[in-house]
Amino acid sequence: MTDRYLSFAGTAPGRFLTRRLGLPQPTALHRWSAEHPSFEGELLHLTAGKSSLQGPDGLAAVLGRTGLGVRAESERPIAVVLDATGVTDVDTLAEVHASLHPVVRSVTDSGRVIVLGAPLDAADHHQAAVQQALEGFVRSLGKEIGRGRTVTLLRLTDANAAESTLRFLLSPKSAYVSGQVIGIGGGAEVTAPEDWALPLAGRSALVTGAARGIGEAVAAALARDGARVVCLDVPGAAAELDAVAGRLGGTALALDITSPDAGARILAALPSDGLDVLVHNAGITRDRRLVNMAAERWSSVLDVNLASVLRTSDALLSAGGLRHGGRIVATASIAGLAGNAGQTNYAASKAGVAGLVRALAPRAAAEHGVTVNAVAPGFIETKMTAAVPLFIREAGRRMNSLGQGGLPVDVAETTAWLAHPASGAVNGQVVRVCGQSLLGA
């Protein structure tokens, strides 16, 4: 569905009118395309305090491999990376202000500000205080920076383990991810791909709910990245599913994910050497306020959105269906993080997904070499949201720092980053793809 307000706000009279009337001024985002797969321009690399990411294999080397021109000064950077890993007290925290204050204005439209922080040190309350301060800083800057620019905080100790994440954030693929705090470290093995343009070459992926919407976009992104995809959806969607699988050179598996033998049927349909990427995307809503919610509305949503995610993850992990180095990416929702009237069932199921991810992640990494993460979409332009009444839909679109809804491809690109073989150190994360929605944390 077209966002007419966004198109209008991008015209000269639209810009004039929206400014005069004090209305939101969303900027059309620069997204990935085969013709323009990466950003071009300069990356401003700044440091506050004494960095812990130095050395020949450190941050400078990783940034140098992004293809951007890394500079210590730049008039018009497409991205700023501020290394604040060495911020340990209130005095060095002032260097964050001193570094970014003069340059934020010059970052180009749809550009990036990435702040690198250190893990909080429980034994040093000064360090923990100022490192936590970076979260408030980043979330506030995300809300005020505007012009399609995003702001993210990464917590890390090893720049190499963060390479796939830095490449993702420093590319048009992360257009709708802003105001997020992402932790990198521990987890599973980090494997640099032979070809960064085809990171999933030789790997296989299964996407549930792949006949349309976000699932279709996820399957397409994973296929673009080189994966052989198995597309799963309900038998009632078999025609659309066949079309998607055929277009992507994958295979279709018409199966209701809630059926008791779903795990066994998935295992039977997988390549003999197992699966590398499992994406739990299938999901439904059956909205009613709790007082009007029949038990069936509760159980159907919990069954598709949570119980089947638990069952199929368990079935695949226990039967060795996911290979060492595998990835599980589940789909939560900001409704699960913030709560939403009329969605006690849906929000419970999606909060449950976040709980599953956090608890299973360390164990799956230790026992199977598999990472477990979730994407939490905000307002995404799909058939589901097109059916929302106009006023609520408009509010959903504008109530985020980027002033517009996301596209299925935004969730798909985030999933592809989590599925990447070099993302092994990203584990147990719930990453919101919401343009920094005002709902929730």
Contacts (Cβ under 8 Å, ≥6 apart) of 33? 172
214 binds ligand NAI (CB under 6 A): yes
Q: How far is the CB of 213 from ligand NAI (least distance, A)?
A: 2
Q: How far is the CB of 252 from ligand NAI (least distance, A)?
A: 12
What tokens were used for 360?
């299973």
Count of Cβ atoms closer than 10 Å to residue 434 Cβ: 32
Q: How far is the CB of 201 from ligand NAI (least distance, A)?
A: 26
Closer residue to ligand NAI, CB minimum distance, 47 or 333? 333
Closer residue to ligand NAI, CB minimum distance, 18 or 208? 208
Rounded Cα distance between 349 and 287, Å, is: 13
382 binds ligand NAI (CB under 6 A): yes
What distances in angstroms separate CA 177 from CA 105, 174, 243, 262, 294, one per listed residue? 20, 5, 30, 33, 36
Residue in 270, 280, 216 with CA at minimum distance from that of residue 248: 216
Q: Write the binding mask 226 to 245 for ligand NAI: x where contact by CB under 6 A, - elsewhere.
A: -------xx--x--------
331 binds ligand NAI (CB under 6 A): yes
Positive or negative, the CA dihedral 30, 36, 42, 45 is: positive
Closer residue to ligand NAI, CB minimum distance, 116 or 244? 244
117 binds ligand NAI (CB under 6 A): no
Closer residue to ligand NAI, CB minimum distance, 203 or 397? 397
Q: How far is the CB of 395 from ligand NAI (least distance, A)?
A: 13
- Residues 276, 260, 206, CA angle at the centre, nearest 5°? 20
- Residues 387, 389, 393, CA angle at the centre, nearest 5°? 85
Rounded Cα distance between 105 and 300, Å, is: 49
Tell me the residue nearest to ligand NAI as measured from the CB.
283
Closer residue to ligand NAI, CB minimum distance, 283 or 326? 283
Rounded Cα distance between 266 and 364, Å, is: 19
The helix or strand, by DSSP H or E, that contains position 115, with its residue range, turns out to be strand 112-117
Query: Of these residues, 5, 298, 346, 379, which one is catalytic?
Result: 346
Closer residue to ligand NAI, CB minimum distance, 237 or 338? 237
419 binds ligand NAI (CB under 6 A): no
SS3 230: strand
CA-based radius of gyration for the chain? 21
Q: Which position among 114, 170, 227, 257 is part of the footprint of ligand NAI (CB under 6 A)? A: 257
Dihedral class, residue 372 (left if φ above 0, else alpha if ψ from -120 to 50, else beta) = beta
> Which residue in this structure is represented by tokens 């993460």?
373
Closer residue to ligand NAI, CB minimum distance, 168 or 379? 379
SS3 331: strand
215 binds ligand NAI (CB under 6 A): yes
Judged by CB under 6 A, how many residues of this single chain contact ligand NAI? 27
What tokens were used for 166?
């830095």
Q: How far is the CB of 258 from ligand NAI (least distance, A)?
A: 5
258 binds ligand NAI (CB under 6 A): yes
393 binds ligand NAI (CB under 6 A): no
282 binds ligand NAI (CB under 6 A): yes
Q: How far is the CB of 243 from ligand NAI (least distance, A)?
A: 12
Q: Which position among 95, 256, 287, 394 is part of the footprint of ligand NAI (CB under 6 A)? A: 256
Q: How far is the CB of 113 from ligand NAI (least distance, A)?
A: 25
- Residues 410, 415, 418, CA angle at the centre, nearest 5°? 135
373 binds ligand NAI (CB under 6 A): no
β-partners of residue 280 are 330
Contacts (Cβ under 8 Å, ≥6 apart) of 418? 327, 329, 371, 373, 375, 426, 429, 431
Chain mean position to CA 121: 26
Provide φ and ψ at 307, rounded to 5°. Answer: -60, -40
Q: Which position among 47, 150, 281, 437 is part of the footprint of ligand NAI (CB under 6 A)? A: 281
Q: Please report, as residue ranges, which positions from 184 to 213 form the binding site for ligand NAI (by CB under 6 A).
A: 208-209, 211-213
Active site residue 5: no
β-partners of residue 79 are 43, 112
Closer residue to ligand NAI, CB minimum distance, 377 or 421? 377
Binding site residues, ligand NAI, CB under 6 A: 208-209, 211-215, 233-234, 237, 256-258, 281-284, 304, 331, 333, 377, 379-380, 382-385
Active site residues per annotation:
346
